[in-house]
Amino acid sequence: MTILVSGGAGFIGGNFVLDWLAGSDEAVINVDKLTYAGNLDTLKLLEGDVRHIFVRADIGDREAICRLLMEHEPRAVINFAAESHVDRSIHGPGDFIQTNVVGTFNLLETVRAYWNELPADEKGAFRFLHVSTDEVYGTLEANDPPFSETNTFEPNSPYSASKAASDHLVRAWHHTYGLPVLTTNCSNNYGPYHFPEKLIPLVILNALNGKPLPIYGDGQQIRDWLYVKDHCSAIRRVLEAGKVGETYNVGGWNEKANLDVVKTICSLLDELQPRADGQGYAAQITYVTDRPGHDRRYAIDARKLERELGWKPAETFESGIRKTVEWYLANQAWVSNVTSGAYREWVSTQYGA
Ligand code: NAD
Ligand code: TYD
């Protein structure tokens, strides 16, 4: 048996492939376009492993994806591939529409054609699992209940609007064509192999390099953080036992204000790798202009996944963030490989000199 994963050279997809093959001998066909966010270094541990077949391709390339489906006959497709960075979506939304909307549409059509031709028993067992975000639900006020699966979609950024569109397409391909889909909407992830344009890895690396730690606006925006390996275990569980056509919210009940997250990282670094001048890393905190249309608060109600499928996160924020900081300290080679050209260009676009 085989699964096909798209976007498996990115942050979550890469962790998913590594964890999958650590726990199973079922082969993975890994399809990734290798944009600036895709890093084969993340998959280095799998070099020479016959259970992992990496193919560079765009999810929107129907011919390439069709060939792979016919050749490997996967029992499931898990779609991680996306443009995923809110700030980049504000500077240039076109790629987000192209991959997240048009790409997902093309992938659905290619998979539908393959699925239609499967023998009845394989057709019934096949799954298309679409990995999405809590950002499709919009933003919460301080006292609102967390997002549940029945919240309306009110996306506010080009990124979240493009992901909401992709979720709608996935839903429609089930209702109209019967494609056996599952959708997960997860909160903010953090952990190993996270590209350092996002808050947590950016702050760890800037701190170590003596650079400012940029806090947008007042730093009181709230995110609900989940350790990436817990997201991966949730996806495995939904793939295994999720009810076709359903969506599942995934979260860790870890709501934190950005400023508190940054201060926690500073304290961990003070303990694990203190600054040479004896000052704390928090001295590097710098307030910068807020993101346009910045969502104030995200929070996930993950009770459906717990109640129906028995899933719970293994890490608390405290244990997960410590592991993450330790991982970045121990993996400087990965960091220096991914922080070359394209990364430096982005940093100067976003934060100036
Ligand atoms: P990422 O940006 O780190 O990785 C995305 C991967 O997709 C990269 O390897 C990239 O090369 C690849 N890719 C991009 N366009 C492609 C295309 N057209 N065809 C094939 N491959 C393409 O993103 P991530 O953080 O790993 O997120 C993975 C998925 O999870 C996304 O769908 C994202 O919306 C969703 N998600 C992310 C988070 C988070 O906090 N990072 C939270 C919830 C949901
Ligand atoms: P990010 O990691 O980009 O994820 P998302 O926008 O998908 O939630 O940002 C997390 C939070 O941190 C978000 O509220 C924006 C904020 N942020 C900063 O304050 N400074 C930064 O330099 C970055 C990248 C993010």
Q: Are 315 and 230 in contact (CB under 8 A)?
A: yes
Give dist(CA 238, CA 133) in Å, integer: 15
Which sign, positive or negative, has the C-alpha torsion 184, 310, 300, 287? negative
Q: Is 199 in the pocket of ligand 2 (CB under 6 A)?
A: yes
Q: Is 329 in the pocket of ligand 1 (CB under 6 A)?
A: no
Spell out the domains of the chain, with CATH numbers in brackets.
Answer: 2-193+228-252+297-313 (3.40.50.720)
Q: Which residues pair with 147 in a beta bridge?
A: 300
Cα 234 to averaged position of ligand 1 atoms, centre (Å): 17
Cα 331 to averaged position of ligand 2 atoms, centre (Å): 22
The question of whether 121 is a catalytic residue gets the answer: no
Closest ligand 2 atom number to CA of residue 198 = 2
| pLDDT tens figures, 5-19 | 999 999 999 999 999
Kindly report the protein residue whose alpha carbon is nearest to atom 20 of ligand 2. Answer: 215
Please tell me the pTM assigned to this model.
Answer: 0.98
Residue 48 or residue 341, greater confidence: 48
Give dist(CA 278, CA 191) in Å, integer: 27
Average pLDDT for 59-84: 98
| pLDDT tens figures, 148-158 | 999 999 999 99
Average pLDDT for 247-258: 97
Cα 282 to averaged position of ligand 2 atoms, centre (Å): 17
Q: Quick one: pLDDT at residue 346?
A: 77
Cα 133 to averaged position of ligand 2 atoms, centre (Å): 14
Please identify which of the residues 32, 83, 134, 315 carries the catalytic annotation.
134
pLDDT at 353 over 70: no
The question of whether 343 is a catalytic residue gets the answer: no
